[in-house]
Structures are given as C-alpha cells and as structure tokens.
Structure 1
C-alpha cells in the first residue's frame, strides 16, 4: 500500500447488483470506467511489481556515495570516476526500476467522479436493453487499510416490448423491395426492445437494398421512430426510409431512389513494363465484356471474364463487386484489382470499369532457414523457386523449385562422428489452374462463386542418413473449392507416393532399440562368433549382416534352446516383422476427400470452432488393374505392380477444435481427434508414412514424439506408430503480464493397432477395456506473443502412464526430473 497516497484508497473490488442479484457478465462489467487491478489467480502481480519500483534512482545513487566518500574513492580506483557516475544509469540502479514501472500496474485509486460516470453508463446500457425506467446508484465502502470497494445497484424495472411495427418509405420501389424481405427483419412484434436489434435491422436493410440495384443507398437514409407512450410497456415502431439527398448548386434536394442495372463492363489491363498507362493498344469484345490493354492482350479473354461476377444487364450488387475483387485477387496475376462505377447519362445504367495491373511474368524466391525438430537437433535449410505466371495465357501459374537441407542428429546412425550427418535434396514442379482442370464443364457442379482451383504437382526428394536413406517420389492431381465462407473442400483425384529405402542395411543402426533387444537375446542363445563384431565386444555385427543371420537362425530352428512358443521367440519374430515392414518399398496410389469448416472470423477472434474430416482410399485402382490383367499373387499372397507391392487401405480422420472466450484475456480450448487406417486386400499393415504416432509438442506433451504407445506396450521402438489414434486435449490460457501468457493443460490419448497383422495384445485396441491404456499428461506453459507469431514453451508431466504396472500408473513420473520440455511456434490447437 506504500504507493497509495494518504487520504486515498485502493479499489479492491467492483460489485454490481442487478435487481438484488450479483451480475458478473463481461458486457456489464465493461461499462465501468474504473476497473480494479488485474490479478492472476487472485494475486495482483503487476501491482506488486509496480510497488517494488523505486523513484528518483539517480538521487538515491548520489546520496549513497555522498554519505560514504571513501567507498566512492575505492570504487573509482578500479573504475574511472566517469564509469562510477554512470552506474546510476545502469540496469541494477535504474533500469530494473524503470522496467518494473513500465511492466507493472499503478494502483487504481477510487474516484467517485468516475464511479458516478460508471453508474450513468450502466443506466444507459440497460436503457438500450429496453429498461427505460432503470435506476442506478453507487456506494463506496472505505476501509482503514487504505482499501475500498464500490457497489453499484441497478433496479431495472420492467422491460419494454415491441408492439405495432409500421413503415414510412418515401421511394415506392424501395417499399416494394422491403415487403419482400420483411419476414427477415430483426424487429419482431412481441420482442423485447434492444438497441442492437435496431442497428442490425439498419445494416440488413442497407445490405439488402444495395445488393438489389439501389446503388446510392446509405444507412443514414434509415431512422426509427419509437413511440413509448403506451400502456403495459409496449412501444410502437415506425421504420422511416427517406429519399436520396443530393447537392444542386448550393442547395440540397431529394429524389426517389432508383434501381440501377449494369450497362457496359469494361476491363482495362496494364503491364507494369508498359511505357503508357492510359492509351489502349489492343481491345477485344468477349461475351458482353470489353477488354482493353495498353500492350497486346496477354490473356485469353475467358481467363479474366470467368473471374468476373458483374454481368451486363444484371442488377447492381455489392456482393458481386466483392466476389469479383476476391476472385481476381485469387488469380495471383494482378496487383490490387480496382472497380469503379459510372452512371451513363444516356441509358441511366451503371458502367463498371475494372482496372487490372499485371504482375511480372517471372517471380524468383529464395529462403534460408535454421531449423530444429524432434529428430534434427540443428539444421540449415534453403530453397530456390521461380514462378511463371500466365504460362498458357489462362492465368495459370507454373512453379519450379529446388530445396536442400543439411542437419545434425545425435539420435541417428553416425559412424564417422560427423556434425552434419543428415542431408536432403529435392525438386518440385507445380501447375496451378484457376478452375477445375477437367475435360467437361463443371460450372453446374461447382459454380465459380465457390472459387474452384486445380493443382497438378510432382516432386522428388533424396535423403541421406535420415532413417534408411529414402528416395521419395510424389505426384498429385487435386481440386479445391470453397462452398461458402469458412468452409473448404479438397479432392485428390490422384495422390501417388513411391518410397524407396536405399540403405536397408543401416536399419539396426537407426533403430537402436530394436538392435538392443535383439542383441540381448543373441547373448542368451547365440554361440556363433562369426556373426559378432570383430573387436571382441560380444555384440552382434550390423555391417557384416550378423543381425540378419541371428534372426534367420532363430526363426528357422538354428538354436535348440530357443522354444518357438516362448516370449523370446515371439520377440525376435516381432523385431523381424517390423524390420521387414519398415525396410520394404512402398507404392501408394490413393484418392482422398477432405472437408473443413472454421468459424474463426479473423486472427483476433477468441471464440470459434473448427471441424475437419478426411477419407482416403488407396490401392483400389491398382487392384482393379490386377484383376483385369489376371495378375497372379506372389509367394506371400500379394500382387505386385512393376515389381512393387502396392498398399491397399481405407483411412478416415475427424478433428474438432473449440475455443471459448472467458473474458479478461482468458480462453479455454479443447480438441478431439480420431483417426483410423484399415488395411485390406493387398495389405496386412499400413505404410509407415500413413500411420499415426503420439507425443510431441502438438499432441500429448508429457511424452516426446513417437515415444507413446502403442497401447500399454511402453514405446519399445525408436519410432512407435500404429494405425488408430484417439486424442483429447484441453487447455486454459490466461494473460500474465504484457505479451506474456500462461497455460494449464491436460492431454489424453494414445495409439493402437486394430484390424491389422499385429499380434501383441498390449498394442491392440480391444474395445471398452482399452480405455485403461489411455495416457494422461498434464502440465503448464508460458508463451510470448510477438503479434505476428507466438513462441511457446510447455512443460508436460506423465500423470497416468499405461505402460507401467496397474498399481504404478498414477503420478509415479509426476516430478520435475521426468518432465518433458516442448518448444513450439503458435498454439498447439
């Protein structure tokens, strides 16, 4: 309380009583001009920081040495006098107090004048809700310890309800338009009076008229008469819509509004390189559109007109103007399209002039990044790309890119002990079309107001010392469109991926956990020294094929002491099956459809939900080709295409996220996820690239990536994955100080095997019983908001670990030494 002046009082609480009941609604609390100091879980941190700050630090510093000249002389011997004098400006003497003052929050002193204004604002708020007789007052309770609180008392009285609703519209054509939309009015007989409904109705009428040809209409042409001199708290409403006002010399006159139609639609294209910006060197007339260009027109007329929603002889519409601007911008070919309207004095129609400035045909980009991930501790990545616009004169964009990456990983095999032991190089080609690239017209199926687009892409990447030194080829043909705002759909007609493992002999160097388990069993059963390392350490040789030799001997009866029904035999068999699966080449020929919906209005929207679902089918086309060709199965019972076994499966996912705004910078967010991929036909398991993993900075944060599950198996492998995943996340986010935010979270979920060739019961999902194998992680986090992105640090604790014995699962790893630190960018969901 030392920063509260004598005779003043710190505001500790605002209490609002509405009709003798406490009201804590944010919209009501926001009417108060004076708010108490902010707090975190009841503790006023920023106020305490402000109280710690000292004022006049220069005077304090000088007084310190004035009272002790000898101390000044001693310090000046090893520092110059100038440096000693500058200590008063240092962080410890001055800067820290300046920081505490800036970051902290001064005490909120009770001000009765502001309290009176707050009471008036409360009265105005309830008046706008229809409580025309509302009465407000306040009282201040002063305590002896320089603290006090304010109580606001509101008696609302009875609300007023809308009775007769009539209209007075001066322009007859507007009166007819209004009657058509009257049923959608926000003003309904019997509703309680609310000022917000009148504002919404004014905006609705304006939008309705302007989208039906009334080009000059404005909101100020609408006003409401409210007759409250009625018994029983009823109000008669008159909607008044005046004629258009215009200037005639020095006088103001009025005239009826007019519904305008579109006359000419003129499109003016200008090249950035053009020396003249006004003269038109080329012109084309195409389907009621007039196209002009300062140079020879570089576009097929349809490429431009197909993006224009303004049509000749149609009624003027604000919506069509907005759709046209958005559609032209989506072409990524023009700089900031502009549309103006001019009234034709002869026809009295509106001529639309659309101005387009072409972007450069070629655009070069290069990026350089320093990266970090769960596998790669340090990496340097870069890419160079070129975009060629309007390559076929239809506003298409061809993108060519080359990318590369070198990095360091302590987790992967590195026999030469090199720092940069990871590398990747790749090339991509991508062709974008501003429509659905199909041999037939799709306008009736996907109209152009859904902004359809197509992408044909292909890419190749070669990895070195990442896993098994993979070569990856991809090719896609996909279509996407937006049925309505916030809804996005995507259809991959073709999605091909071919993964070739180049260095399969490196398997046990990469997957160290599998090697350690295998090596421990070899020390029990193996007596053949030829398959061991030559250095005499007694371990299985990897480079010389000792691991594979031991597996072959074990599975083919080479060790009499190894019982084929024993757990050790099953463990060796499981290691071999996983090795076979992860080293085999994969050919995935799939199609998929995804749908997403997001109600988030903008980046600052704190209350919204999003939903995403996806269905993928793979291998069916290749299976049909195999059936038609009467292709035989190989010894393993599967069919090959070009000597490769193709994957066949169905995969589906559901992802739901919901955010609630809890006021005062607090937010509560949840996420639920379910995904399953079921192999069938030509496959008994899912390709590694299409499987699920658990743990990590955006998942269950008490476990590292790939370390959780499957089921209760305990994450025995280096990269644990399965074909089914269930996850639930909840997070409470709160503002701390300035741009610093905090979070408390709980993450629940796991991965399992289901309907595939897995035989280990600890990994298999078996219905309700498997609920006990859900993993629960809880923790806390701190975030710093840079406005354009958010840096995040989360600390996760294993609260319930299904990998332990039943009586050891709860809180046994709940301590600081076994916590998991997650560093990420932006929120996890």
Structure 2
C-alpha cells in the first residue's frame, strides 16, 4: 500500500498545481492564451509542420492537460524581492498573454510556409474565442492547388546569356555530368526546400571536384509558368550565374603542401611558430612540434584523408576532421587553407592542420549506491587512462571495481550477502592489426581500431562462488557520417569456474536445464555487432532513431578441431558425452538479438520514447543449454520494471526456486515511456513495459516455459511512474513498477492491478543510473 500512497501523493501535487488559477498573473484587459488549433483542409499536409510557423504558443503542458510550470510560477507571491518567489518564477513559466500582432504574424508565416511548399493560392484565416480571461486561437488553412514541376532543364532559358567563364573553366561539364543525381522530379510539388537541397547537392558535388571557392549563391533557379501546357505547372531552369565577383570561384584548386602542427596554440602567431617550433618532413608532409615529438607522425598521416598534389575535395576535409577527432588525442582540430600563386588554369592551396593535444593521463573514481529490483547495494570503480601510451594514439585503461549487494535470499539475515570484485586491462589502438590484409583504403575510409582486453571477476553469493576470466580481441570501425558503428570481436573467451556450490541449492533446482548453468564451462565466441543512430550531438530538440543488431557464434571452431583431431569425449552417460578444453566443457551455440528505439521530441518539456527488442539463442552440439551468462532474462531496472531481475518467466512458469534464475533462449520485449520536465533538475516519467522470455530447448520440461503458438497470452505487462534527477552529465533514476498482467497466474486471473497478486501491493522500486533505454 505504500506504493499506492506514493502515486496518490504525486497525483495530488499535479491536481494542486492544475487547480491553481492559471490567470492569477493575467492583468486587466489581458487574456491567457489557452489553446491554439490548426485546421487544414488537405489531410496530406503535415499539421506539425504548419504549427512550427505559429509565432505564439500556449504555456507548456505535461500529460496533455496540466500546465505544471505555469502552476509553479503562480505559486510565487507578488513580492518580487523575495528569494523564494524569484526562484519559483525562474523554474516556472510565466503566463503567455495573447497578442493580436503575433497572431497576424502567424498567419503571414503560415502563408509563407505554404507558398514555399508550392501552394501559391493558399489562404489562412484566424478566429479568436474569448472566455473568462482566456483566449483560444483557431487557424483555418485552405491550401488550394499545388504548383508542380512540368520539366527540368539544367541551363539558362532560351534567349538568356550562357555563363562563359564557367563554361571555359570546365565547371559546366562537371556540373552537367552530375545532373543524373538531381533531387528534382517531374510532377513533384515546386518545393523551395527541395530546391535549396538541390543547391546544396550541386555545391557539394562541385567542391568535391576541386572548386574550392564555389558557393551555392552562384546557383539560380527560374520557374516559368507562362509557357506550360497545364494549369498549376512550372518549367524549372537550374543555372550557374555569370556575375560572380571573383572568376576564381569557377576554377579548380589542387593541394600543394600540407603541414601539420602537433602542438597548436592559438596565442602563438605564425611567425613565432616558424621561429620557435621544430620541424621535420615525413612522406612529403611537414610536421611542426614543440620541444619533443609526442605522437608518431605515421599514425597522424595515415589518418589524414587529404593528399598532396591532388584536387581539393571538401568531403575529404570533413572526413579528416572526423578521423582526427575520433582519435581522442586532441581538444581542438582545425584545418586551414591558403591560396598561393600558381601558373595555369588549376590554382594551388597550401593546407595547415592545427592540432591541440589533450592531457595524456587521467583517472576516474566512481562510487554508487543501488537499490535495484529490491536488492540493496554499494559499489565503486577506479579507472586509470593513458591516451597515448606508445606515442601512436594507443589508449590503455586499467580498472578495478567492487560491489556489495543484498540478494533476497530466504533465511539470510546479513546486510550484504553478495560480494563482487574485478579488474580489467584494455588497449585500443588506431592501428589495424590485420597481418595478412593491408586494406589501405579501408583504413582511410573507416578509421578502424583494434581492441584487446583482459578481465577477471570474482563473485561470492550464499549459494556459490564464481570466477570469470575474459580475454577479447577485436576490431571497431565506423563510417564518416558517424551514423553506423561496427564491432567485430574475433575472439571473445570466457572461462567460468563454479566453486563451493551449495549441494542443497543444486538439489533444489528441479530442472536439469537450470542446473547446467551452475557448472564449469568455457565460451569461445566470435561476435559481430552494428549500431545505427541519426541523433546529432548536443541536439536535443529532434526526433531520432537507434538500431542495434548482434550476431554471435560459439564453440564451432573448437568442435571442428576436436572432431578432426579425434579428441575424446567425456561424461557420465552416452547421452551427455562432450569435449573439454583446459579441463572444462565448452559451450556451442548461435545467438542473435536486435533492438530498435525511437525518440519522439514533442516540445521542450515532453518527449516519448519507444523500444522494441527481440533475441534468440540456440544451443547444440557440445553443450545442450545456453550458458547462464548468455541466456536472456526479464525484469530489472532497464527492462520489465514491475519484476525483479530474473524473476519473470520463462513463459507462464511460476518460479519456486530460492534464487532468481529465470532465463530463456528467446526474448520479446517492448517499452514505451513518456518523459516530462518538472522543476529544476527533476524529470518525471510514465511507462508501460511488456514482454517475457521463453525456452526453445527440448530439454526444457517445466510447464508453460517453452515457446508455443499461445505465447502472446504469456506476455507480461507492467506500468509505473518515475522520477529522475538529471544533471546532464549524471542521471539518477527512481522507478516504481506496478504489475498489470502476470503470466505466472492461471488463465483468466492474470490481470492483477487491484488484487494481491500484483498492482500496488507487489510494486517494485528501482534505483538506477541513466535512462533505461
């Protein structure tokens, strides 16, 4: 019932703020802007795009109705000198007073937006309704017919002079060759945004072919509606203007010299650099540095995408920026070009790359307290990092960590009954360690890195102690646009030793499938993962997608070696004969999972995030079950928040074991979370989680645990609310999960919101760091 009181208190606060008179600070003869509606007679037109043109919008609402921030503002007193009143007004939002002038401006902006989209006969009318010091504004939009493109010609109309300078310089020939990639299409609306995108595309294509000084301002569009065959059509002409002030805008440039300043200081002039810096020439590149060369030139030169004595390419400049920043060695990267005197039609540029190094060594200490899924805990982590240990951009980090947790174990009275300690050593180098394949172009285009790590962890619980040694070798690479990232772990070795396993605990596990999780085993895997996101750095006011897919295979190479070499199997029965390596059984399986998220930005105070996850693993050969570390589970602070970790499923099975170990081979999960700003650093959230895990293994004998055609009736559903303390660099999250549907109960009794099997009486309180997804 304590959870019910918490929810009731939160709802009371919302009701209180909503009940506060929203017109408290609305003056005489003034009106609070209450609602703004947009009615469009064309359903194909995106109404949200029209709304962006409105110049005055009502106060921010959360949950669709509550003006929480206006309520905070209205809680302040009229004495503006009091600190408390100033604070409330600062974190709140002042009432939006209706302004007729801004309404008129909104009408003009909507009409301008529609004209830009090709609706030249659009009409917009506004209507204002007044009621009890509130004003509601309604915009009625009649879009009218759209003007479409009848034909496209990439030259001046007949009778117009051609661009002689551009023609003679060869620019026009390059321009015409690229018109096959045009964004303009026949019968498409005459959209100015598309025309501007076409201008950007043409400019980008020419600047990638050496035209250093070319600008999009030299591209003009003309629309002819007088000679068309049909009404509301236009002939579009795309042309390069003649009247450029500088004829060099139409000429190509090549890069003559490239110099790299490894110790750039903006306070040091070029003359001082020439007088005080050391220099050397490496593969034709001039290297400038202070006192001592801290980075090997080879690594930087291989990262630079620009080439001496080649035509200027704007895309290679961008790629060079990205590659140099990805090294994490420099706090500032700047690329500067200077025109130099040269003979002939092709001009010359000298390039200077300016690099300001970051501190090479750092350390981080992190302490945390957790209350995850009812399990109290404290933990800490110390990490030492060296960004350039061998002077070739190698990043080496050493970490040690430890934690104490309280697992919910029957009959256990200790404050903390679970201990974990561990250490990791990791090296990431920009060198691509692929001895038999040089792949020079791949290194330049994808900036691959090689990663090596070793770790060891020791875990003590009331029922067993577990040691895990891990060794990993793999590659990381990404495309220049930063949207796709790839990771291929060629070797991922886990050596798991289970010691001091409580015999009564094992005997209490009635299922052989689970018992196999508590035996010594080895996992030798190869893992490939790809991640996509179109989220822009430091851009919060946008929608974005996130997608990740993993594929893993384990044990196949070892099994092939054993078979070819005639290795002997061991085991207690013919049914359970298996190969060993280093004295333990190794796992053999294939596994894949995928996750998709979508973040919908509504306004500055509201956003909606959705997530979908599906994963499946199939064990075979040398080990008939998935190792415990590789199996899927439900519950916890980042998944089904109304269940504790590893207590959900599999399927409709009701776990009776003392220790939470409900895992499965197949997982399906979906989450949706509504997030809203409250006050100061506080954020609120409402969420709905659905999902479960199942087994597909024939060894699974527990009733309701196997995946079958009726799986959708076994999907668990939970809901809840949360508070978050968001300090930008750190987010502390509190979520209260409430069961709505529990598949472990008999059919017909699974909706449990208002009974003893779920709802507020069985709520789960989670404390975690960071957003759940």
- TM (normalized to structure 2)? 0.83
Matched, 1:125 2:113: yes
> Does the 8 Å CA contact 2:513/2:700 hold for their aligned counterparts?
no
Relative to structure 1, the CA distance from residue 656 to residue 442 in structure 2 (aligned partners, 3 Å threshold; closer, same or farther) is farther
> RMSD of the alignment, in Å?
3.4
What whole-Å deviation, never above 9, does each CA across 1:415-467 have from its counterpart, x for those lacking one? 8x765655444333223221321212341784421111111221223334586
Report the equivalent of 2:138. 151
- Structure-1 separation of matches of 2:278 and 2:600: 57
Relative to structure 1, the CA distance from residue 37 to residue 153 in structure 2 (aligned partners, 3 Å threshold; closer, same or farther) is same
Report the equivalent of 2:9. none
The structure richer in helix per residue is: 1
Report the equivalent of 1:503. 500
> Does the 8 Å CA contact 1:244/1:256 hold for their aligned counterparts?
no
**Matched residue of 2:203: which SS?**
helix
**Matched residue of 1:574: which SS?**
coil
The offset of 1:16, in angstroms, is 3.5
Matched, 1:110 2:133: no
Relative to structure 1, the CA distance from residue 293 to residue 413 in structure 2 (aligned partners, 3 Å threshold; closer, same or farther) is farther
> Does the 8 Å CA contact 1:494/1:590 hold for their aligned counterparts?
yes
Report the equivalent of 1:331. 327
Relative to structure 1, the CA distance from residue 223 to residue 471 in structure 2 (aligned partners, 3 Å threshold; closer, same or farther) is same
Matched, 1:32 2:54: yes
Report the equivalent of 2:127. 139
**Matched residue of 1:385: which SS?**
strand
> Does the 8 Å CA contact 2:607/2:676 hold for their aligned counterparts?
no
- Structure-2 separation of matches of 1:772 and 1:21: 37
Relative to structure 1, the CA distance from residue 467 to residue 207 in structure 2 (aligned partners, 3 Å threshold; closer, same or farther) is farther
Q: 426, 437, 448: which one pairs with 2:422?
A: 426
Matched, 1:587 2:522: yes
Report the equivalent of 1:798. 739
The offset of 1:153, in angstroms, is 3.8
Out of 210-219 and 259-268, give the one that drifted further.
259-268
- Structure-1 separation of matches of 2:42 and 2:417: 72
> Does the 8 Å CA contact 2:615/2:668 hold for their aligned counterparts?
no
What whole-Å deviation, never above 9, does each CA across 1:643-669 have from its counterpart, x for those lacking one? 211222222212222334456754443
Report the equivalent of 1:374. 372
Report the equivalent of 1:353. 352
- Structure-2 separation of matches of 1:151 and 1:379: 55
Matched, 1:780 2:721: yes
- Structure-2 separation of matches of 1:190 and 1:205: 21
- Structure-1 separation of matches of 2:730 and 2:584: 44
Relative to structure 1, the CA distance from residue 23 to residue 150 in structure 2 (aligned partners, 3 Å threshold; closer, same or farther) is farther
- Structure-1 separation of matches of 2:144 and 2:521: 74
Report the equivalent of 2:14. none
- Structure-2 separation of matches of 1:4 and 1:382: 53
Report the equivalent of 2:64. 41
Report the equivalent of 2:4. none
Alignment map for 1:416-495 (pairs within 5 Å): 422-443=418-439, 446-465=442-461, 468-483=464-479, 485=481, 486-495=483-492
What whole-Å deviation, never above 9, does each CA across 1:339-380 have from its counterpart, x for those lacking one? 2223331453222223345556x5141313123253862314
What whole-Å deviation, never above 9, does each CA across 1:7-26 have from its counterpart, x for those lacking one? 33333333444459998812
Report the equivalent of 2:33. 11
- Structure-2 separation of matches of 1:284 and 1:112: 68
Relative to structure 1, the CA distance from residue 655 to residue 793 in structure 2 (aligned partners, 3 Å threshold; closer, same or farther) is same
Q: 711, 718, 726: which one pairs with 1:770?
A: 711
Alignment map for 1:554-565 (pairs within 5 Å): none
Q: Which runs of no fewer than 5 residues in structure 2 stay unpaired?
A: 1-22, 157-161
Alignment map for 1:246-645 (pairs within 5 Å): 254=247, 257-270=250-263, 278=274, 279=276, 281=278, 283-286=280-283, 288-294=284-290, 297=293, 301-346=297-342, 348-357=347-356, 363-372=361-370, 374=372, 377-387=376-386, 389-391=388-390, 394-397=392-395, 399-409=396-406, 411=408, 422-443=418-439, 446-465=442-461, 468-483=464-479, 485=481, 486-505=483-502, 574=510, 577=512, 580-602=515-537, 603-604=539-540, 606-636=542-572, 637-645=577-585
> Does the 8 Å CA contact 1:308/1:327 hold for their aligned counterparts?
yes
- Structure-2 separation of matches of 1:690 and 1:332: 32
> Does the 8 Å CA contact 1:263/1:313 hold for their aligned counterparts?
yes
Relative to structure 1, the CA distance from residue 293 to residue 17 in structure 2 (aligned partners, 3 Å threshold; closer, same or farther) is closer
> Does the 8 Å CA contact 2:383/2:398 hold for their aligned counterparts?
yes
Out of 185-194 and 447-456, give the one that drifted further.
185-194
Report the equivalent of 1:535. none
**Matched residue of 1:436: which SS?**
coil
- Structure-2 separation of matches of 1:734 and 1:803: 30
Relative to structure 1, the CA distance from residue 751 to residue 478 in structure 2 (aligned partners, 3 Å threshold; closer, same or farther) is same
The offset of 1:228, in angstroms, is 5.1
The offset of 1:236, in angstroms, is 4.5
The offset of 1:191, in angstroms, is 2.9
Report the equivalent of 2:610. 670
- Structure-1 separation of matches of 2:297 and 2:66: 66
- Structure-2 separation of matches of 1:809 and 1:658: 30
Q: 166, 185, 193: which one pairs with 1:196?
A: 193
**Matched residue of 1:761: which SS?**
coil
Alignment map for 1:91-102 (pairs within 5 Å): 95=84, 97-98=85-86, 100-102=88-90
Relative to structure 1, the CA distance from residue 749 to residue 495 in structure 2 (aligned partners, 3 Å threshold; closer, same or farther) is same
Task: Answer 1 or 2: higher relative contact order, Cα 8 Å, separation at least 6.
Answer: 2
What whole-Å deviation, never above 9, does each CA across 1:236-289 have from its counterpart, x for those lacking one? 44444346856xxxxxx65562111122233343499xx995445452442x43
The offset of 1:596, in angstroms, is 2.3
What whole-Å deviation, never above 9, does each CA across 1:400-427 have from its counterpart, x for those lacking one? 5241324242536998x76565544433
Relative to structure 1, the CA distance from residue 179 to residue 466 in structure 2 (aligned partners, 3 Å threshold; closer, same or farther) is farther
Matched, 1:759 2:701: yes
**Matched residue of 1:652: which SS?**
strand
> Does the 8 Å CA contact 1:776/1:799 hold for their aligned counterparts?
yes
- Structure-1 separation of matches of 2:369 and 2:628: 24
* Alignment size in residue pairs: 717
Relative to structure 1, the CA distance from residue 121 to residue 740 in structure 2 (aligned partners, 3 Å threshold; closer, same or farther) is farther
Matched, 1:171 2:166: yes
Q: 650, 658, 675: which one pairs with 2:598?
A: 658
Relative to structure 1, the CA distance from residue 800 to residue 193 in structure 2 (aligned partners, 3 Å threshold; closer, same or farther) is same
The offset of 1:594, in angstroms, is 1.6
- Structure-1 separation of matches of 2:734 and 2:120: 51
Relative to structure 1, the CA distance from residue 671 to residue 16 in structure 2 (aligned partners, 3 Å threshold; closer, same or farther) is closer
- Structure-2 separation of matches of 1:103 and 1:185: 49
> Does the 8 Å CA contact 2:213/2:249 hold for their aligned counterparts?
no
> Does the 8 Å CA contact 2:295/2:388 hold for their aligned counterparts?
no
What whole-Å deviation, never above 9, does each CA across 1:95-129 have from its counterpart, x for those lacking one? 3x555544544443333222222222222222222
What whole-Å deviation, never above 9, does each CA across 1:272-321 have from its counterpart, x for those lacking one? 9xx995445452442x4344555565655532321121112221011111
> Does the 8 Å CA contact 1:209/1:217 hold for their aligned counterparts?
yes
Matched, 1:817 2:752: no
**Matched residue of 2:761: which SS?**
helix
> Does the 8 Å CA contact 1:282/1:297 hold for their aligned counterparts?
no
